[in-house]
Amino acid sequence: MAVIEVEHLHKSYGGDIAVDDVSFTVGEGEIFGILGPNGAGKTTTVECLSGLRPADRGRLRVLGLDPRTERDAVRRVLGVQLQESGLPDKLRVREALDLFASFHPDPADIPALLDRLGLAAKAAAPYRTLSGGQKQRLAIALAVVGRPRVVVLDELTTGLDPHARHATWELVEQIRAEGVTVVLVTHFMAEAERLCDRVALIDAGRVVALDTPAGLARRAGQQQRMRFRPSAPLDEDTLRALPEVTAVTWRGPQLEVTGTGDLVVAVTSLLARRQVIAADLRVDQATLDDAFIALTGREHPQPGPAGTR
């Protein structure tokens, strides 16, 4: 059974269409990414799914429950971390967790959760004194304290430095390893590539592609490029004869081979048969960034180096 079903979701604010016929399903134990530019309708989609906003039209189910008519039941199985936590500045970490735990019949062990999320030393700290990374970890803790079967994480690592972002990714992987299904809203291509099993690329309220990160990158149609220094003379025509190869060019002492499909496997197997070593090998693959541009027809607005927008 699909854990999440979204069929023909529509949502407008006044006359403005935010979500325009979005459909997807998420399987048990998946990390499913919702990726897209600012204003694409990602947050609105997950808010409707979580029962925080009523959809105008469409069928939504979380473990078979309707977030509109069975909101309390959905709350018991679905944990949400949204962009703004809205926690009072003076609320202490432990108090926030105790409060959220009180909404659930069988909450997680709070000291163990604090420990796992690296917040044990901050249990008595007021919210406003936490760093960006600590606030994000608390937001994750609040989303999982009710031991949900599904967790929605929205813009989890925006504003975090690379170290904190990697630490947060590991937490998401741990959550999934415990059998929780994860819906991850993100701007970061690298985040989607690292974490997500499948991704829905949303643009202007519509799903423009739904695939694995690698599948999306392949769809971008971008060529792959290999560069290396052959350890022994090599007949370029044998490379050109490979069906995966589209061009072979010398760049100084380096050979540049471009192509599609399983280019790397085809070229490296040929080299192995000829007993040639590919020294200084570098491979450039199409990335989700390429896919984004190819599928939406515009540049992906990358957050700044520290993930700020």
Q: Which residues sit at the interface with ligand ATP, rule CB under 6 A?
A: 13, 16, 18, 36, 38-44
Smallest gap from Cβ 252 to ligand ATP, in A, equals 44
Task: Select 16 or 237, whichever has its Cβ closest to ligand ATP.
Answer: 16
Task: Select 44 or 181, whichever has its Cβ closest to ligand ATP.
Answer: 44
d(CA 275, CA 119): 54
d(CA 309, CA 288): 19
Task: Select 120 or 204, whichever has its Cβ closest to ligand ATP.
Answer: 204
> In the structure encoding, which two tokens stand for residue 246, read together?
């589209």
Place of tokens 């927008």: 309
Smallest gap from Cβ 55 to ligand ATP, in A, equals 12
d(CA 156, CA 168): 8
Smallest gap from Cβ 78 to ligand ATP, in A, equals 18
d(CA 213, CA 197): 7
Task: Select 33 or 36, whichever has its Cβ closest to ligand ATP.
Answer: 36
> In the structure encoding, which two tokens stand for residue 78, read together?
């679905």
> In the structure encoding, which two tokens stand for residue 243, read together?
């069906």
Direct distance between the N- and C-terminal alpha carbons of the chain, in angstroms, rounded to an integer: 37
The single-letter DSSP state of residue 284 is: E
Smallest gap from Cβ 187 to ligand ATP, in A, equals 6
Task: Select 31 or 35, whichever has its Cβ closest to ligand ATP.
Answer: 35
Task: Select 43 or 168, whichever has its Cβ closest to ligand ATP.
Answer: 43
Task: Select 41 or 146, whichever has its Cβ closest to ligand ATP.
Answer: 41
Smallest gap from Cβ 43 to ligand ATP, in A, equals 3
Any residues with CB less than 8 A from the CB of 113 and at least 6 apart, and which?
97, 141, 144, 145
Smallest gap from Cβ 54 to ligand ATP, in A, equals 12
Nearest to 220 by CA among 158, 287, 168, 268: 287
Smallest gap from Cβ 286 to ligand ATP, in A, equals 24
Smallest gap from Cβ 302 to ligand ATP, in A, equals 13
Q: In what order do the strands lie in the sheet with 57-62?
A: 16-26, 4-13, 57-62
Task: Select 13 or 103, whichever has its Cβ closest to ligand ATP.
Answer: 13
Task: Give me the amino acid identity at 93.
Answer: V
Task: Give me the amino acid identity at 125.
Answer: A
Any residues with CB less than 8 A from the CB of 239 and at least 6 apart, and which?
245, 248, 255, 257, 267, 270
- Give the H or E element holding residue 80: strand 78-81
d(CA 287, CA 221): 10
